[in-house]
Amino acid sequence: MTRKHVLITGGTHGIGRACVQLLAREGYLPILTGRDAAAGTELASNIPGSSFLQADLNAPGAVASLADRALSLCDGRLAGLVNNAGRSARNIFDETTEELCNQVYDLNLKVPSLLTALCLPALRAAKGSVVMISSIAGKTGEEGIALYTASKAGLIGLTKALALEIAPEVRINAVCPGQIETRMMSDKNLNKIYGKPGGKNRAVHAVNDVSFDLRAGETLSVVGESGSGKSTVAKLLVKLEEPDSGKYLLEGEDVTRLSVRAFRPKRRVIQMIFQDPYSSLNPQHTVARSITAGPLAAGVSPAQAMGDARRLISRVGLDESALNRFPHEFSGGQRQRIGIARALAMSPRVLVADESVSALDVSVQAKVLDLLADLQREYDLGLIFITHDLRVACQISDNLVVMHRGRIVERGTAHDVLLHPKAPYTQALVAALPGQEWEKRREAAMFAERRA
């Protein structure tokens, strides 16, 4: 039987990782690539017959080098190439212009097209196929070639790029993320009770039958007043607390009853950004030590951990000199950026942000929220955003759940929950949003002015 190798770019996280696992179950031998050596090595070690090639495909010459290394592993026969196209063009499809077509090609398709062209001999030899994965919505192209874009401009741009460099005898398919199972987290009927029923102290049902799913690249906000149970949910997700009942799946694995030791490898998958930027950093540790502690404990070399720390501290908008300073030398917003860098140092797939902007000034809040949104798109993170502020939740969320007294009383898209709340408690929350009375007065004044 011919060994069926498939090369997957961006196979260490998000959609690409889900695709690797899917192909492995179907009997293929994945050759996964990505920038994250630790995540790629770990995934490949858990899939018999798979291999990992570290590569940053945006670096000069990296695409040709990757093609050579991959083809040497598959004996010149490649059953498939999965081009996990970038997310950077996600929001540009709003006009049908030639300029936009060029942007689609420049941002998303130069690397996939070049890699496909270099792998064509091996694909022809195995009668293989090419799969384009895009994070944008879908339409179907002509002649059986399914191209997923968000507009006519995107469709033209993708077609043009593919026609330029891909031979007609190689079958081209494209998929949306929704066609691949990318569920990162699933919680079923979680319960947590503090105190003992009938005991001396009153029992508090802090989390009562809570269930939700989270997918790669999705932001799910958990909203509620103080004491609603939302922070307890966060602690259950990162295993700082243990549920009394229910099931908790992380990357499809039931981790509900895992011991602290058994759950330790999973700490790379899920990280937390804490509410208080002042108490969440050890005042006796430099920023460098705080950021590198987790990776070093996970077996990353000191040189790589420090290199990642430099990259991350710059990515969150701070100077590299910050690494040698102590937490008391920074403002609250800067400390929260350090906390975000520390969480990202573990290369997680899920971030839990527990009231991560509530202690910050409004202007600083906006900058941190923008940073979180940028990082989520860049790393394809699933984000659990816990807040009492419904306006902030609607600004950052794809989906939203509202908690009251430990229970979920409403769930839906952020737009629907804000504009069409159904539960009485949610209606009360929306009605309590500040500024609404002023907005009504402004609209009335404008109407009166028009009539005059």
- Local confidence band at 352 (pLDDT 50, 70, 90 cut-offs): very high
The DSSP bridge pattern shows strands 183-194 and 204-215 to be: antiparallel
Identify whether the C-beta of residue 360 lies closer than 8 Å to the C-beta of residue 333.
Answer: yes
The amino acid that residue 17 corresponds to is: R
315, 218: one domain: no
Last residue within a domain, chosen from 179, 211, 246: 179
331, 357: one domain: no
Last residue within a domain, chosen from 342, 363, 383: 342
pLDDT (0 to 100) of residue 452: 57
pLDDT reading at 1 higher than 50:
no
Structural domain includes residue 58 = yes
pLDDT (0 to 100) of residue 285: 94
Identify whether the C-beta of residue 298 lies closer than 8 Å to the C-beta of residue 348.
Answer: no
Cβ-based neighbours of 384, under 8 Å, separated by 6 or more = 185, 214, 220, 222, 234, 237, 350, 351, 352, 353
Structural domain includes residue 207 = yes
358, 253: one domain: yes
Residue 30, phi then psi, degrees to nearest 5? -75, 135
114, 164: one domain: yes
Structural domain includes residue 278 = no
Mean pLDDT for 16-45 is 85
DSSP 75-142: TT--SEEEEE--STTTT-TTS--HHHHHHHIIIIIHHHHHHHHHHHHHHHHTT-EEEEE-SS-----S
332, 394: one domain: no
Structural domain includes residue 189 = no
State which residues form the domain around 56: 5-179
End-to-end alpha carbon distance in the chain: 84
Last residue within a domain, chosen from 114, 144, 179: 179
- Local confidence band at 377 (pLDDT 50, 70, 90 cut-offs): confident
Q: Write down the mean pLDDT value for the chain.
A: 77
Task: Output the domain CATH number for residue 30.
Answer: 3.40.50.720
Structural domain includes residue 191 = no
pLDDT (0 to 100) of residue 168: 54
Structural domain includes residue 256 = yes
pLDDT reading at 183 higher than 70:
no
Give the single-character DSSP code of 370: H
17, 157: one domain: yes
CB-based burial, 29-51: b 16+ in 10 Å, e otherwise: bbbbbbbbebbbebbbeebeebb
Place of tokens 């394809």: 380
pLDDT reading at 287 higher than 90:
yes
- C-alpha 360/C-alpha 347 separation (Å) is 25
368, 434: one domain: yes
The DSSP bridge pattern shows strands 5-8 and 51-54 to be: unpaired
Number of domains in the chain: 3
- Considering 90-94, 177-181, 246-250, 427-431, the range whose residues carry the highest mean pLDDT is 246-250
Query: 64-113: per-residue pLDDT in tens?
Result: 899 999 999 988 888 888 877 554 333 333 333 445 445 555 555 667 77
Task: Output the domain CATH number for residue 431.
Answer: 3.40.50.300
Query: 54-76: per-residue pLDDT in tens?
Result: 988 777 788 889 999 999 998 88
- C-alpha 230/C-alpha 386 separation (Å) is 7
313, 381: one domain: no
pLDDT (0 to 100) of residue 450: 60
265, 397: one domain: yes
Structure tokens at 291: 């950021």
- Local confidence band at 195 (pLDDT 50, 70, 90 cut-offs): confident
pLDDT (0 to 100) of residue 320: 92
pLDDT (0 to 100) of residue 338: 93
306, 240: one domain: no
- C-alpha 284/C-alpha 287 separation (Å) is 10
Query: 139-168: per-residue pLDDT in tens?
Result: 333 322 333 333 333 434 444 444 444 555
Structural domain includes residue 279 = no
331, 227: one domain: no
- Whether the full predicted model's pTM is greater than 0.85, yes or no, is no
pLDDT (0 to 100) of residue 408: 94
Query: 31-54: per-residue pLDDT in tens?
Result: 999 888 888 888 898 888 899 999
pLDDT (0 to 100) of residue 61: 82
Beta bridge partner(s), residue 383: 219, 351
Residue 35, phi then psi, degrees to nearest 5? -85, -25
Give the single-character DSSP code of 318: -
Q: Sort 114 into a burial class: Cβ within 10 Å, 0-12 / 13-18 / 19+.
A: middle
Structure tokens at 122: 């091996």
260, 409: one domain: yes
Structural domain includes residue 196 = no
